[in-house]
Structure 1
Amino acid sequence: MGEFWPVPDVLAYLAGHWSVVRSVRDLASGAEGEFTGSTSFHALETGGLLHHESGTFVWQGVARPAERTLRFLPGPGGTADVRFADGRPFHDLDLSSGRHAADHPCAADLYRGEFTVRDADHWRTVWRVRGPAKDLVLRTDYAREDRPDAPRTRTPTDS
């Protein structure tokens, strides 16, 4: 992938709207699926960001709406403590080097995630999921749809 882009403050970097494309591959069966949609990171009144993702997940030719919500809470030194919507811990996130690995045990399964930042507007996650009934790879690419710190410029299609 080349050089990683260091992020001194995860929450400041993630704030805003992102387009999302996720491939899902079941290594045991060979089945593949794809999620396309968007995600937004909005400030929580209590600090941190509320992450809401929504879109369409196509699995074995069947399209279904899909969404999820996570909470990204401030951690030490510009890191984040990522939690499920109900407050259960998910993983930590430190992008100060532009790259981070995290594990999340879930019942008999282990989710191992790798986060990489390519530049100011592109980042990726790859989750490898292994367990008695799971052998998956989930690869997600994020592309910024807006820049919270950049002035909006009008385009000819704006009204």
Structure 2
Amino acid sequence: MEEFRPVPDALAYLLGSWRVTRSVQDRAGGVEGRFDGTTVFGPLNAGGLLHEEAGTFVWLGVPRPAERTLRFLPGPTPGTADVRFADGRPFHDLDLTTGRHVVGHPCSADLYRGEFTVRDPDHWRTVWQVAGPAKDLLLTTDYARLR
């Protein structure tokens, strides 16, 4: 059984820079890709964190630059976060107080199911399973704190 590390404050834990390694499996097509890069969680003026990810995504042997931006705002209870897309649309909640959190996010006809696990003060993981008529994906991302 995997052991999770409780985090009393998700935003405080995430603050800083992380090395990111993501595998992407298209289970319907049998194709795999990989993203390598960095994620920086920096303070937002209005409170919360700005998540900026940049790196290289390799798909079908072709490397391409890739980036994304999210907003991690203070959640409804202490230590939690309200995760939003860059344009402010809701994405999911995040509560790491037990070291593990499971969320769902509908996207058109597909459903994203995410699991967040904290391994120790410097390592955490997300696993997104995407299922629906348009997609059948497994995305596994490992984060390692950069010092």
User: What pairs with 1:12-51 in structure 2 (closer than 5 Å)?
Assistant: 12-51=12-51
Match of 1:133, as an amino acid?
A: A
Structure 2 residue aligned with 1:65: 65
1:74-93 superposed matches below 5 A: 74-75=74-75, 76-93=77-94
Please give the secondary structure, in 2, of the residue aligned with 1:78. Answer: coil
Residue 131 of structure 1 deviates from its aligned partner by 1.1
**Partner Cα distance (1:32, 1:21) in 2:** 13
Q: Measure the CA separation in 2 of the matches of 1:2 and 1:109.
A: 28
Q: Deviations over 1:63-106 (max 9, x none)?
A: 00000000000011200000000000000000000000000001
Deviation per residue, 1:21-58 (Å, 9 max, x gap): 00000000110000000000000000000000000000
Q: Distance in 2 between matches of 1:115 and 1:125?
A: 5
Partner of 2:5: 5
Structure 2, unaligned runs of 5 or more: none
Instruction: Determine the C-alpha separation between the residues in 2 that align with 1:68 and 1:17.
Output: 15
Measure, in 2, the Cα distance between the counterparts of 1:45 and 1:80.
Answer: 16
3-state DSSP of counterpart to 1:13: helix
Could you tell me how far 1:133 is from its partner in structure 2?
1.6
TM-superposed deviation, 1:2 = 1.9
The letter of the residue matching 2:13 is: Y
Deviations 1:93-145 (Å, cap 9, x if unpaired)? 00000000000001101000000000000000000001102000000000000
The aligned counterpart of 1:140 is 141
In the alignment, what sits opposite 1:118? Answer: 119
* Structure 1 residue runs of 4 or more that deviate by more than 3 Å after TM superposition: none
CA distance in 2, matches of 1:101, 1:43: 25
Q: Distance in 2 between matches of 1:109 and 1:29?
A: 16
Larger radius of gyration: 1
Aligned residues: 146
TM-score (norm 1): 0.91
Distance of 1:96 and 1:112 partners within structure 2: 19
The whole-number CA distance in structure 2 between the counterparts of 1:109 and 1:52 is: 25
Of Structure 1 and Structure 2, the greater strand share is in: 2
Q: Distance in 2 between matches of 1:137 and 1:43?
A: 30
